[in-house]
């Protein structure tokens, strides 16, 4: 597909040109961006200052920025810089294209032991380094482990991390946080815990998931789940090697005082097989400028300006291979994997139907499910001889309160080729399993607008699913 030069409206923040949204949550969204000086691709996490102040998240955001500045390691997502405008905070991060480790497990199920060990070694390298800098992650799980184009693991999302100043006089942390299936028993116990030992427990759960393809502790009822975690009530599958079983049982020891340490893990025979210690240079880092990011004084020289400008660019194009590889009609296997026991948070499909018909179908189907729909669109000038390019988004908000509040679903519709649209549907709030159930029903009303790729993917049916989330 040949690209044509044209004019477009682009948003610039400092030296970065912003692109499409990669993900969104209640308080932040992440956009693809390009450094116009170097041509390097980055990801920019954008937070609304008003929301940050309103919800008293200043301490948490400062902690995340401080943490990311302190850490320079090949197995941790790099933060290049943090900036602020009068209304927004921008965190510029390394852009990785290999997806989540979660995705890899969901596609393949359990990994071979050598492959699982490789990722576990990189995870331990990263966590050990973080601990050496006084940083405890506190929310380690496959969804927060990314892969770069070379398959190198990168730890991300330090929003719940703890810094040395959070350790009390008893030498322990006291904030209960993390994802229930991965959290250590002493964290749930709420009597104080060692951040390093709690992180290692989460690494042990991740290792089990890598090699088994499912969680060691999985119950739909939190009380039952915590009971299993307190007792370390789990069984290794028969395909685990005896040395892998021994290591996992030593990591998933419910008593933190007898639990193996990271130093001991690194010396373990199973761990050391094919092990390559990381190579990197330490950098002197100052945290003196972190407070300036939250400076609300108008006209500060430290503030950046977000501006829109018209620049010559090539329209977004995608060849058939890229298009089909990112969207398989309504193939629900992109949402979940039964043997994995997990549910995905987003899916995509393509359509040759007009944009207004796609929007109408989604509105109609969502309305029948009791969802309110907010919509908007943006016109982008292409050239005098072509009509404006349209980008659409819809936000669906459930009326009923679910397990984790109201389910919110973000939908983006954008043109990837003339008369061909990519539709991305993702959970932006609420419970992941409820999102899965919502999409299963929504999909029934969208089948006639989905572009058939010819491989029958949209005809596949998946029966039965267990989920955590």
Catalytic residue numbers? 139
Q: String of b and e for 101-136 (b: at least 16 CB within 10 Å)?
A: bbbbbbeeebbebeebbbbbbbbbbbbbbbbebebb
Q: Identify the helix (H) or strand (E) that includes residue 144.
A: none
Residue 73, SS3 per DSSP = coil
Residues facing residue 92 across a β-bridge: 44, 81
Answer positive or negative: Cα dihedral of 374, 99, 143, 154: negative
What the block records as the tokens of 446 is 């969208």
Distance CA 382, CA 10 (A): 12
The distance in angstroms from the start CA to the end CA of the chain is 40
Q: Identify the helix (H) or strand (E) that includes residue 322.
A: helix 320-326
Residue 54 phi/psi, 5-degree rounding, is -60, -40
Distance CA 443, CA 102 (A): 23
Residue 386 phi/psi, 5-degree rounding, is -125, 145
Q: What is the DSSP letter of 329?
A: T
Sheet hosting strand 346-351, strand order edge to edge: 346-351, 420-429, 405-417, 389-402, 371-380
Contacts of 467 (CB under 8 A, 6+ apart): 336, 341, 342, 343, 432, 433, 436
Distance CA 162, CA 180 (A): 18
Distance CA 275, CA 120 (A): 10
């Amino acid at each position: 597909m040949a690209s044509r030069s044209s004019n477009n409206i682009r948003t610039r923040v400092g030296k970065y040109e912003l692109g499409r949204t990669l993900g969104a949550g209640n308080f932040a969204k992440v956009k693809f961006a390009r450094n116009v000086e170097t041509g390097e691709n980055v990801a920019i996490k954008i937070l609304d200052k008003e929301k940050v102040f309103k919800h008293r998240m200043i301490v948490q955001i400062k902690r995340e920025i401080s943490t990311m500045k302190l850490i320079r390691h090949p197995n941790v997502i790099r933060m290049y810089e943090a900036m602020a405008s009068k209304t927004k905070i921008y965190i510029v991060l390394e852009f990785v294209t290999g997806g989540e480790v979660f995705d890899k497990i969901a596609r393949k199920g359990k990994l071979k032991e050598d492959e699982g060990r490789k990722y576990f070694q990189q995870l331990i390298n990263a966590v050990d380094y973080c601990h050496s800098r006084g940083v405890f992650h506190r929310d380690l799980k496959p969804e927060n482990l990314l892969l770069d184009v070379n398959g190198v693991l990168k730890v991300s999302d330090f929003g719940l991390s703890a810094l040395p100043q959070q350790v009390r006089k008893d030498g322990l942390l006291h904030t209960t946080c993390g994802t229930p299936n991965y959290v250590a028993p002493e964290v749930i116990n709420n009597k104080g815990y060692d951040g390093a030992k709690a992180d290692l427990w989460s690494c042990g759960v991740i290792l089990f998931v890598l090699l088994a393809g499912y969680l060691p502790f999985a119950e739909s009822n939190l009380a039952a789940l915590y009971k299993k975690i307190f007792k370390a009530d789990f069984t290794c599958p028969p395909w685990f090697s005896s040395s892998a079983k021994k290591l996992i049982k030593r990591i998933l020891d419910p008593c933190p005082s007898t639990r193996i340490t990271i130093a001991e893990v690194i010396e373990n025979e199973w761990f050391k097989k094919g092990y390559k210690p990381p190579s990197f240079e330490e950098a002197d880092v100052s945290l003196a400028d972190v407070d300036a990011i939250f400076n609300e004084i108008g006209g500060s020289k430290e503030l950046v300006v977000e501006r829109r400008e018209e620049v010559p660019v090539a329209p977004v194009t995608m060849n058939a291979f890229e298009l089909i590889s990112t969207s398989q009609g309504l193939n629900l296997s992109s949402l979940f994997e039964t043997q994995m026991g997990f549910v995905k948070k987003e899916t995509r499909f393509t359509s040759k139907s007009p944009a207004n018909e796609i929007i109408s179908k989604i509105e109609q189907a969502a309305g029948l499910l009791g969802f309110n729909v907010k919509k908007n669109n943006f016109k982008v000038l292409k050239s005098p001889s072509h009509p404006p390019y349209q980008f659409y988004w819809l936000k669906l908000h459930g009326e009923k309160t679910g397990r984790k509040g109201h389910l919110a679903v973000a939908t983006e519709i954008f043109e990837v080729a003339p008369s061909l649209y990519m539709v991305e549907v993702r959970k932006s709030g609420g419970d992941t399993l409820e999102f899965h159930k919502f999409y299963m029903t929504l999909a029934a009303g969208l089948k006639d607008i989905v572009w058939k790729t010819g491989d029958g993917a949209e005809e596949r049916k998946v029966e039965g699913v267990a989920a955590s989330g």
